[in-house]
Amino acid sequence: MKLTAIALKNAKPKDKIYRLFDGGGLYLEITPAGGTYWRYKYRFNGKEKRMAFGVYPDISLQDAREKRRLAKKTLDEGFDPSEQKKLEKIERKANYENNFENIAREWHKQKLHTWNPTHADNIMKRFEVNIFPYIGQRPIKEIKPAELLQAVKILETKGNRDLAHRVMQQCAQIFRYAIATSRAENDITLSLKGALQPAATEHMAYLTEAELPAFLQKLERYEDFGGSILTKLAFKLLVLTFLRSSEIRGKFDKKTKAIFPARWSEIDFEKAQWRVPAERMKMKEQHIVPLARQAIEILRQIQEITGGHYDNYILPSQHNPRQVMSENTFLRVIDVLGYKGNATAHGFRSTASTILNERGYRADVIERQLAHCERNQIRAAYNHAEYLPERTAMMQDWADYIDFARQGGKVIQGKFAIK
């Protein structure tokens, strides 16, 4: 006889455990302590087995019968419902552990050594504010493209189109990391290409080869515009070395309040090399700059001017020798010479890269000298002087080219052959 709601309500504890059967293997077990537990008895591979369905009245009679139906269906399909239940529990646990937020934090930790601390903090804050509240707790393999798009679109509607694209790109890296670690099967960002409005990309303004000679000629007369010779020499050194502004002057870390100035101890005049320490480089590894004879001459001139200043800074501030030359100094050069909006200090790296590529220099050599991108970690670990002979020759050719361009000399195609 099947159980009824009244029979269950009237079931009271006795001196011993007893059972009320509903049929089909389902029964309620009542203990002397008053516990009421749903059980399911079945046979699998000839063995009698039992599984728990929960506590009455939390699990109603109707709920218990539905659980029995599903367990019977599993049996009919040839599987042990108890084992299936264990597997489902394991999968639920794995899904929680492999949610988007956990994997994103794991990916972030893996990448920390390639970023500076401020950049790393910014990336995590973007996710904590813009992504985790929406899909952070979702198993990464279950996230649908529309879910991710909805979260990123919020940034876009606020007018942060560039940030929306950066966040989407970083999400793509996380999905690829999850695939590589066997916790996802698809990079769903691939199906979202074109779903965001175009980013308002701003490139660093730079001079073309045709525009460069006039600028160099004006720079040579910088004192006539009211500028200092030290500033002129610093800018000429920037053009010759391909270094970023903070790498050639020095860097102030806003987070730690520490100064990482360019010092004379980094210059090896005998080897004609500048070894820029890792803390001042964007990619956080020491960078070797071969110095052309023109660069050496400029450094000698700077040394005569600044050699006695505080702590041997190469380019100290002219207002406070305990500080490095300001970034605004280079911006002022461009402004004074009439190139505001048409050139930037950083843009001279692009000018050099464009001209060198057109002159037939190998892209790997150029990129290495620009310290432009993250290199293979294993290769970089034992050889930070990659392509040094080729780079040395290229830097001297570049300096010769700058001389002739400034003087109005004609440079023809083919690695700076000069007429």
Which active-site residues does the annotation give?
A: 244, 282, 346, 349, 372, 382
Which amino acid does the sequence have at 323? Answer: Q
For residue 341, the 8-state DSSP code is: T
CA distance 225 to 342: 18
Pairing of strands 36-44, 26-30: antiparallel
Distance CA 206, CA 351 (A): 6
| Residue 132 host element (H or E) | helix 132-135
| φ/ψ bin of 91: left (φ > 0), alpha (ψ from -120 to 50), beta (otherwise) | alpha
**How many residues in the chain?**
419
Q: What kind and span of H or E run contains 237?
A: helix 229-241
| Nearest in space to 246 (alpha carbons), one of 320, 144, 315, 302 | 315
How many angstroms separate the CA atoms of 221 and 336, rounded?
11
Helix H or strand E encompassing 247: helix 245-249
Q: What is the DSSP letter of 38?
A: E
Enumerate the H helices of 21-99 as residue ranges. Answer: 61-76, 81-97
